[in-house]
Amino acid sequence: MAYKIVSSQCTACSACEPECPNNAIREKDGTFIIKPEKCTECIGYFDDPQCVAVCPVDDTCIIDNSYPRYEAAV
């Protein structure tokens, strides 16, 4: 995991929040954040990260390299 939201670019449109299969996204202090412990990069649910797919602002939902990439349990 995980994806993160670049808060300086987020317009707080809320489009991403209901699309997350893990309820990892929530509003906080006028912007939206991804809880990294809950983000599975949409693996097991969708081919593409849904927050990236629906976000109208390019490069706002991005990989957070401070976390190792998510690996689905096999």
Interface contacts to ligand SF4, rule CB under 6 A: 3, 5, 10-16, 19-22, 24-25, 32, 34, 39-42, 49-51, 54-55, 57, 60-61
Choose among 60, 67, 18: nearest CA to 41: 67
32 or 71: CB nearest ligand SF4: 32
9 or 74: CB nearest ligand SF4: 9
Shortest Å distance, C-beta 74 to ligand SF4: 18
Helix (H, G, I), strand (E, B) or coil at 62: strand
40 or 74: CB nearest ligand SF4: 40
Q: What is d(CA 52, CA 61) in angstroms, rounded to the nearest whole number? A: 5
Q: What is d(CA 28, CA 10) in angstroms, rounded to the nearest whole number? A: 12
